[in-house]
Structure 1
């Protein structure tokens, strides 16, 4: 993956944040936006940043977008431009196309035209923040599907010194602890003999209901 190149179209809040993080991770990023000010703001941070109209096929062709491994359509204020740009990236042969959706309907249209992944940053962030607000031990929450979730839960004082064998969340609640993040490092696929300490972080996978039951049982 380290040699992968990304083209990010739309340098608003989501596109610029994504672009900067990819550069921090060591990838080459071409940023495209029709707003000259947005491009100017990012020009020193990205590998390349250009002012261009992404709905013009010849412009995208001249920029060599077909040579990029992944194209992300992060246009946030024009559904028509988002859809047209996505179609052009697919037609030009970009290996993987990811697109930001502003609504469920927009997302369904993007899926119909064959994007590899649709992302809903505002919706997903709202869901994650809501769960964090109502669950005191929940550090992060990612919905894997309609039914399954992966959550990070901080270990409360009552579980300090308790082994996974004694806790046995799979038998009691149906969810599984797939990792434990300790101050000295992360334990992937922990064994029954691993012991929790206060302030460790448990990475738990299961249905929403199973994780809610598990969390409720350890915070009583």
Structure 2
């Protein structure tokens, strides 16, 4: 069954907002982009379902533009904290089902959380943690934090392990980790593939707690 597309309103079309809006549109969703800057709106008009110039601190202007009909809103307003807060309040008043907001700092984060935003994002901090994780362990190509200390990581097999049997790595025995699968180029191999022999640049997709993932990465 095909995934049902959803509708998104992305408010603030700076570097962060425009990147999110472009990807959401690429996934086949209905996306409206909103900004007070005519130039930014014009740049996104051909990419999104629609793009409008709007003062989002004006609740009636939001309603007249039909923003209240969208399923999810992302408020990606940059440094204008007052506009971000007022826009969040307006979208709550309009009854938007899910509201995500980009915060500029921790104080802004706390205010948005108190206003009832479903998720508040600090992109610079989140990306900083992401990069630190990969710098700390060079074999980790990418990772996703799942909370409570658990992460899913993408670990590249070094050349010296080429030709080794997958079972020889001790995943699930010597290391308290779960192997979710192996990526070989663009092909996914199941974790249950019998007698899989590793090739250079294979990527292991592992689930586990960060200290154990770090111990495994250091060992290989």
Q: Same fold (TM over 0.5)?
A: yes
Shift of 1:192: 6.4
Q: Deviations over 1:113-149 (max 9, x none)?
A: 2222222221121222223334322211222225222
Shift of 1:38: 1.4
Question: SS of the counterpart of 1:144?
Answer: strand
Which residue of 2 is the match for residue 106 of structure 1?
Answer: 108
Greater Cα offset, 160-169 or 185-194: 185-194
Aligned equivalent of 1:52, options 51, 54, 59? 54
Question: SS of the counterpart of 1:206?
Answer: strand
* Structure 1 CA distance for aligned equivalents of residues 109 and 14 of structure 2: 19
1:73 aligns with 2:75: yes
Shift of 1:216: 0.2
Greater Cα offset, 13-22 or 36-45: 36-45
Aligned equivalent of 2:117, options 84, 95, 115? 115
Shift of 1:16: 0.5
What TM-score, normalized by structure 2, do the two folds share? Answer: 0.90
1:1-16 to 2 correspondences below 5 Å: 1-16=3-18
Which residue of 1 is the match for residue 127 of structure 2?
Answer: 125
What TM-score, normalized by structure 1, do the two folds share? Answer: 0.90
Question: SS of the counterpart of 2:147?
Answer: coil
Which residue of 2 is the match for residue 174 of structure 1?
Answer: 176
1:26 aligns with 2:28: yes
* Structure 1 CA distance for aligned equivalents of residues 130 and 58 of structure 2: 36
Q: 1:64 to 1:186 in 2, by over 3 A?
A: same
Contact 1:163–1:192 (Cα < 8 Å) also in 2: no
Which residue of 1 is the match for residue 149 of structure 2?
Answer: 147
Q: Deviations over 1:147-202 (max 9, x none)?
A: 22221111112322333432222332222221211125113544564443221111
Question: SS of the counterpart of 1:102?
Answer: coil
Gaps of 5+ in 1: none
Question: SS of the counterpart of 1:173?
Answer: coil
Gaps of 5+ in 2: none
* Structure 2 CA distance for aligned equivalents of residues 8 and 53 of structure 1: 13
Provide the alpha-carbon RMSD of the alignment: 1.9
Shift of 1:108: 2.7
Contact 1:8–1:73 (Cα < 8 Å) also in 2: yes
* Structure 2 CA distance for aligned equivalents of residues 90 and 188 of structure 1: 44
The count of aligned residue pairs is: 218
* Structure 2 CA distance for aligned equivalents of residues 110 and 196 of structure 1: 48
